[in-house]
Amino acid sequence: MSTNLHGSHEGGLDRWGPPFIVPPDQDSIFSSVYDWGRGLDFGFRVSHQPNFLAYWRLIGQFLLADSVRRKVLGPRARSRQITFLLNDYDAWRDPNLRRAEFPEVNGNSSGRAYIGLRTYEALGSNVVFHEIGRIPDSFADNLRASVGGYLSGIREFLTLQERRVFSRATRNVVEDVVRVASDCTTWVQFCSAYILFVLERCGVKDVEVVSGFEKMLANQTLMRSVAERVAEALDDGRDAIDLVWGFCDSCKSRFRPEAAGFSYCGQCSRKWDPARDLMLPKILVDNLMDDELFPRTLSFCHIGGMSHIVEGHQMRTIMQLQPTSLDVVSDQGSRSDYNFQFIAEAAARRVVHSVDAAKIRGLYDRSRSGYFSSLYYLVGDEYAALRNA
């Protein structure tokens, strides 16, 4: 058995165990999944917060899931969907939910610039992302102006002909995204539809989006039961109420409930009854809810979520529960494509431009690491296709 799996994984359900980290060599993960999944009927899942114009590392998790799905299932791959569990019950103020990062060569010492959801600054900071409202009519114009402005610095490093191609590539991709947005009414719909759009451009299909917010609201009885069991197992003074968020159905905010009895929403002061009003899970309860709602799953997660996975595994150990899923934790994100090629070309030409060479190198490294919005990488793919046509 591959050393990528930690713990005892002999036969049957004993093979459902703690997470393992995907090494650089993808053949190792294929061999591990073969060992683990032989004879088991399992699904594929990617769980993540909504990402406005999702950064590439999130897309990378789907590419990895699809690669494993095709390798393990072969011709049966299309018969098994990848479930995208959208954790849309986090507070919308989280920067990772509401803004997208782009490179900026000029005018910013960090080399980074952001497009964000400034339209909703008046909202309370704890309104959950699922409920932040409708896409404004100004979105299309703002997107065109912002993306064009942020990528304009790269054009300065290109020849006149290359600039024309790059401008056309930017326009083509942005207009495609505008069309995606035109079919959506809310931001959570757009974030989901945008990721499906990017995946289709990458050749990944058969992805089903599941709203975590809607799933949790539909399973309140289960959540209460899980929270009570976790609190009993921890035996550290925490009650079940300490392991969940209260959810205010009036202002759509989540808040920290009082330890006992009635609580009041911190945003609108509405009275909240823990016995009958809605709640949302904190991390420990969230992990065990996933076990209940998505059993027998090969779940893909970026390395940034490792701490949550470890906490979940520790909690299962305390409660003597057998995990029902296997978490694939990876640092997937790097790509080798024309996005990096035209940045390398830009770096080579820096001697004729008054741009800090260190900034160019930082831009190149961050681009390779997949931190920028996937929209930026799509522009690079489009630029390559048009230039080579």
In a domain? residue 138: no
Nearest to 122 by CA among 97, 163, 93: 93
- HSE at residue 292, side-chain half, CA atoms within 13 A, is 16
pLDDT above 90 for 230 = yes
Residue 13: its pLDDT value, please?
34
pLDDT above 60 for 19 = no
Residue 107: its pLDDT value, please?
58
344: confidence class by pLDDT, cuts 50, 70, 90 = low
Residue 375: its pLDDT value, please?
92
Query: What value does the mean pLDDT take over residues 356-363?
Result: 66
Domains in the chain: how many in total?
A: 1
Query: What value does the mean pLDDT take over residues 332-347?
Result: 56
pLDDT above 50 for 210 = yes
Structure tokens at 108: 């910013």
Distance of CA 102 to the CA centre of its chain: 17
User: Strands 254-255, 244-247: parallel, antiparallel or unpaired by DSSP?
Assistant: antiparallel
In a domain? residue 46: no
Mean pLDDT check: name the lowest of 32-46, 69-83, 187-201, 363-377: 32-46
Q: In this predicted model, which residue has the larger pLDDT, 143 or 11?
A: 143
DSSP per residue over 274-285, as a string? TTTS-EEE-HHH
The pLDDT tens digits of the residues spanning 173-201 come to 999 999 999 999 999 999 999 999 999 99
Residue 256: its pLDDT value, please?
92
18: confidence class by pLDDT, cuts 50, 70, 90 = very low
In a domain? residue 250: yes
Q: In this predicted model, which residue has the larger pLDDT, 33 or 5?
A: 33
Nearest to 112 by CA among 385, 380, 371, 387: 371
pLDDT above 80 for 359 = no
pLDDT above 60 for 8 = no
What is the 8-class DSSP label of residue 127?
B
Model-level pTM? 0.87
Which domain does 255 fall in, by range?
A: 220-281
Structure tokens at 52: 């406005």
In a domain? residue 304: no
Residue 267: its pLDDT value, please?
84
Query: What value does the mean pLDDT take over residues 204-232?
Result: 95
Q: In this predicted model, which residue has the larger pLDDT, 202 or 30?
A: 202
In a domain? residue 231: yes
In a domain? residue 249: yes
pLDDT above 90 for 53 = yes
The pLDDT tens digits of the residues spanning 97-135 come to 888 988 776 655 566 788 877 655 567 788 999 998 888
In a domain? residue 364: no
DSSP per residue over 195-223, as a string? HHHHHHHTT---EEEEEHHHHHHTTHHHH
